[in-house]
Each structure stands twice: as C-alpha cells, then as structure tokens.
Amino acid sequence: MASAGTDIYLAKTLLTEGKLVAIPTETVYGLAANALDEEAALSIFKAKNRPSFDPLIIHIGSADQLSQWVTEIPEDAKKLADTFWPGPLTLLLPKKNVIPEIITSGLQEVAVRVPDHPLTCELLKQLDFPLAAPSANPFGYISPTTADHVNEQLGHKIAYILDGGSCDVGVESTIIGFPNGVATLYRKGGLALEEIVKVIGKVETLPHSSSNPKAPGMLKSHYAPRKPFYLKTREEMRLADRSKTAFLLFSEHLDEYLPEKQLLLSNSKNLNEAARNLFNFLRLLDITNDTTEIYAELVPEEGLGLAINDRLRRAAADQG
Ligand code: TXA
Ligand code: MG
C-alpha cells in the first residue's frame, strides 16, 4: 500500500524526482507524473497496464498557461477555457514540441485541462511542469473517486497518494476537440453538454467506433466491473435470479427484491448526485460476495446523465 496524506511538499518532491503520485481532482483521482519527463510518463503506462496508443491528459494550474503548451487556441476553445476552467473540461489542441510524443501517443494534439481541487491546484502552482495524469485505475477498470480506491488497486505501484477526500463530480472530464475548427465532443463527462452549448453554440459528436484511434478512450469495453454486468429495463429486472443478482438503480427500489441488494444512485433524482455515486457504487456491487451479477438501468439522458449512461453502456459492452 502507498502512504496517503495531504503533504503537498512530499508530492512535489516525488514528482520532481520522476516518481508517480496519485492526485485528487474534482472528477476522479489521477495517476500523475511530470509530463515533460518521458521516463516518468512511461511509468504511468506501465503502472496502469495501459496500451501506449492511449494518450494522456496534461493538467496545468491555470488557463493563462495554456499558450506555453499548445500552438493554437481557437476562439471557441478560449471561451470554454475562460468559462469552465478550473473544471471538468479537457480541450484537445495542437501541441508544442516540448510535449513529448509519448504523452499524445504520437498524435499532434494534446489533451489539456485545469483541474478544480484545492490540493491539486496548490500542487500545480508549486511545480514548474504540467502533470500527465490518466485516471488512477488499472486499464479498463472502474475509475477511482477516493484515495482508498486508488490504494486498493495501484497502491503497490505508486510513491504517494495525495488524499483529497471523495471527488465532487465523480465522472471524468468532458473532452472537446476542434477538428477542422469545429467544436466536437470526444468524451461525455462531468461538464454537461448543455452548458457547453450555451457558451459556444453547436457541438458536433464524434461518430462512435470502438477502434477509432483518435479517441482510444472510446474503446467500448471500459469502466467495467469484474462481475458480469448487464443493462436491463425495470421489466427485465423483474425476471432476475434473486439469489445472485444485485441492482444499480437510478432513484427507486424494485419492490420484489431485498433493499440491501439495490443501490440507488440518487433518491432525489439528481443527476449530479448520481454521477458522484456511480463509480463508488459500481465498485461496491463488484466486491460484495453475496451476488455474482449486476443489473443496471439507464438514467435520464440529460445533464450528467449522458456521461453516466455512456459509462454504463461501456461497462456492459460485450456482455450481452
Ligand atoms: O477527468 C479526467 O479527465 C481524469 C482526471 C484525472 O483528470 N483523467 C482521465 O484520463 O480521465 P484518462 O487517461 O483516463 O482518459 C483520458 C482520455 C482517454 O480516453 C484518451 O484516449 C483521451 O482522453 N485523450 C487523451 N489525449 C488525447 C488526444 N491527444 N487525442 C484524443 N484523445 C485523447
Ligand atoms: Mg481512464
């Protein structure tokens, strides 16, 4: 297990030495290293068992540092950065040469964001390099939203965990790129699309493809629990085997089953609360011994519901 605490100075020292430190953000915990140090970046891929074709997001301390790392900032990108940073939004922009190829998996664009968490903001302020940080989970598994989640799965591979409590947003950042100058959604995430549209108008969506090399985060099977995981309607859920099934539901219990086998993402139908609970609940259902499969229902397709449903669909991918 890695030691966990709030020692920013220690985190800074370790990162400066090229070591891995898990950091809290408002979305999920990140597995951070010096983004300008190729070897440190390589160790992120190794620790996560992440394929080298899946590029990393760099985290910077403020929007006004953006021009240090990218060659061009389209008007829409500027508006989004000014409005939503620090916050759960990542922008894909043409990289400067100082960003090593390993960070972007050879792509010309780098993913950048300013995270919104007091510990990590303070840490970034003290560093003279950006932090490359994917979510701090083994590749393909559920993203971590507490320091314990990180420790359970990657604790033996990292130097230190900066413990910032539970993540407020609970799903990864929304990713927007600008292919041919057109604002395009690459990943549904913790900033609702409606909010983005209010600021820049129309946003295109990338056609989904499980083999799209431009957005490997769109790999279909992702965020997956280890137990068989199925998306079901409430009607279908009524046919479940009560001895082996646990349920992930939006806001209302199923009367026919034991309440302790059902987790409600939000009693009050609040999609932000549902997002905050999502990954923690998936983990809880995954580790309980008394059930061997998970049934989940989709949530309303609005606000953070888009990101929640996206994660649920990916978790269920290839499982029928
Ligand atoms: O909220 C978040 O974004 C969290 C926290 C830690 O900041 N990070 C995160 O990183 O979710 P990760 O690596 O788990 O997901 C980043 C996604 C990946 O799907 C990756 O393929 C995509 O961003 N990505 C990164 N750089 C890219 C690039 N240059 N072009 C296209 N996609 C990129
Ligand atoms: Mg991830």
Task: Read off the pLDDT of residues 133-146 as tens digits, 9 standing for 90 and up.
Answer: 999 999 989 999 99
- Strand 160-162 and strand 3-5: the pairing is parallel
pLDDT at residue number 289: 87
| Residue-level pLDDT at 189 | 98
Whether 292 has a pLDDT exceeding 50, the answer reads yes
Structure tokens at 5: 């605490």
Q: Which of 135, 154, 168 to mutate to test the pocket of ligand 1 (most atoms within 8 A of CB)?
A: 135
Instruction: Return the residue whose CA atom lies nearest to atom 13 of ligand 1.
Output: 134
User: What is the side-by-side order of every strand in the sheet holding 184-187?
Assistant: 3-5, 160-162, 21-23, 30-34, 131-132, 57-59, 109-113, 89-94, 174-177, 184-187, 204-205
Ligand 1 lined by 76 (C-beta under 6 Å): no
Residue 44 scores a pLDDT above 50: yes
The pLDDT, as a whole number, for residue 220 is 56
The widest CA-to-CA distance across the chain, in whole angstroms, is 60
Instruction: Give per-residue pLDDT as tens, 230-289.
Output: 999 999 999 999 899 999 999 999 999 999 999 999 999 999 999 999 999 999 999 998
Mean pLDDT across 41-61: 97
Mode of pairing for the β-strands spanning 109-113 and 89-94? antiparallel
Residue 214 alpha carbon, nearest atom of ligand 1: 31
Question: Which residue do the tokens 């920013």 mark?
Answer: 8
* 170 CA distance to ligand 1 middle (Å): 15
pLDDT band at 127 (very low <50, low <70, confident <90, very high): very high
pLDDT of residue 224: 81
* Most ligand 1 atoms within 8 A of CB, residue of 53, 90, 210 to mutate: 90
Name the residue of 45, 117, 175 whose CB sits within 8 Å of the most ligand 1 atoms, as the mutation to test its pocket: 175
34 phi, psi to nearest 5 deg: -60, 115
Position 39, amino acid: E
User: How close is the Cα of 66 to the center of ligand 1, in Å?
Assistant: 17
